[in-house]
Amino acid sequence: MPRITVPATSANIGVGFDCLGLALTLYAHFDVERADALEITGCDERYAGPDNLFYVSMCHALRAWGMAPFPIRLHIETDVPLARGLGSSSTLVVGGIYAAAALTGRELDRNEAVALACRMEGHPDNVAPAICGGLVCSFTPAGVAPEGCDNELEPEEPRCVCYDVDPSLRFVCVVPPYEVKTTEARRVVPRTIALGDAVWQMGRIAGVTRALETGDMDLLAAANDDRLHEPYRRALIPDYDAVRACVLDAGASTLWISGSGSTMAAVVREKNTDFCPISKGVADALRRQFPGFKVHILSCNTTGARVE
């Protein structure tokens, strides 16, 4: 019975709207084997049928390879919260694709996996880092319409540019006990932007990418200042301002909304990565001020999805 492990992801990374994504050390595990009838355990009963996204994705991959879908026995163990902006749906999509390959003996390279997953998800910002690991800038040459856009474009294989992330960085993810609906998060983002905002954004995407590579926290704090989506999505997270003030006061360099929220990620650089005193201080401050929230101290996952 193969075990497929897929990391959580944080998409957008502030200024990298629909382009940047980061794999994190929080995981979904899927144990899967062929069966006589579909059987899914480890999830809410309403998701334990043929419309389970993992199984839908697996069938999609099989059909793309000219194979007929077949029933499976699937057990899900996940620490990735549902509908909180940490790529829970992407873990299912990616897991299903890798299951299709593992159960049929097909060799699957990352480019093919990203292309299949992008067709399922609609854009690659979450699925690309879930597959590749690390920090990924992804785009489609002409293809998938940007998030929040009504235009339907013919999909093309996405291009992924992968970056290392400084290993001393920690991402303190704070998960409120409420979700932000993706449809609402898309609705509030303007469809057009001013030229000045586009120029502002382009320079800061380069700055954030370089800062995460090198661990330059001054550069990250200066560059992580989004004008495309966060100013509008903050209003959907009632605790955003309080969380931001809390983490900055406790020693974090910056904060971004993970995906469309409601999770927010604070970034810290640790000199002592064995004990992570700054990250623990930020996490403790969050737990004191927001006792109903979940807080995770995470690193960058460097391997992406894997089959064991």
Q: What is the CATH number of the domain that holds 73?
A: 3.30.230.10
Same domain (yes/no): 75, 102: yes
Q: Are residues 125 and 70 in the same domain?
A: yes
pLDDT of residue 142: 60
* 150 and 56 in a common domain: yes
- The CATH number of the domain holding residue 236 is 3.30.70.890
Boundary-marking domain end, from 131, 164, 197: 164
266: pLDDT strictly greater than 50:
yes
Residues 150 and 11 in one domain: yes
90 and 183 together in one domain: no
Q: Considering the domain boundaries, does residue 306 fall inside one? A: no
pLDDT in tens, 3-15: 999 999 999 999 9
| 160 located within any domain | yes
Q: What percent of the chain has pLDDT over 90?
A: 81
Same domain (yes/no): 220, 127: no
Residue 69 lies in a domain: yes
- Whether 265 maps to a domain, the answer reads yes
Q: What are the tens digits of pLDDT across the range 106-129?
A: 999 999 999 999 888 877 889 999
CA dist 134 and 248 (Å) reads 24
**What was the pLDDT predicted at 157?**
76
User: Among 108, 102, 257, which Cα is nearest to 176's?
Assistant: 257
111 and 213 both lie in a single domain:
no
Residues 47 and 12 in one domain: yes
- 130 has a pLDDT exceeding 50: yes
Peptide linkage before 168 cis (omega within 30 of 0) = no
User: Which pTM was predicted?
Assistant: 0.91
Task: Please indicate, yes or no, if residue 303 is contained in any of the structural domains.
Answer: no
Measured CA angle at 17 (ends 14, 23), to 5 deg = 70
CB 47: neighbour CB atoms within 10 A? 16
**Shared domain check, 182 and 113:** no
In tens, the pLDDT along 188-221 reads: 999 999 999 999 999 999 999 999 999 999 999 9
Provide the number of structural domains found in the chain. Answer: 2
β-pairing, 39-41 with 72-78?
parallel
DSSP category for residue 70: -
Q: Is residue 308 part of a domain?
A: no
Distances (CA, A) of 227 to 192, 205, 231, 301: 12, 11, 6, 28
List, in sequence order, every beta strand (DSSP E) within the chain: 3-11, 20-34, 39-41, 72-78, 135-139, 159-163, 169-175, 254-257, 264-269, 294-298, 306-307
pLDDT band at 156 (very low <50, low <70, confident <90, very high): low
Chain-centre distance of CA 302, in angstroms?
Answer: 14
Residues 196 and 103 occupy one common structural domain:
no
Rounded Cα gap, residues 258 and 240, in angstroms:
12
Contact 165, 214 (CB under 8 A): no
Q: Which of 164, 190, 221 is the last residue of a domain?
A: 164
State residue 144's pLDDT score.
45
Q: Rounded to whole angstroms, how far apart are CA atoms 57 and 127?
A: 12
User: 307 lies in a domain?
Assistant: no
- Domain residues for the domain of 62 are 3-164
- Residue ending a domain, choose from 139, 164, 189: 164
Q: For residue 105, tell me if it sits in a domain.
A: yes
The whole-chain average pLDDT of the chain stands at 92
Q: Quick one: 202 and 278 in the same domain?
A: yes
Are residues 33 and 150 both part of a single domain?
yes
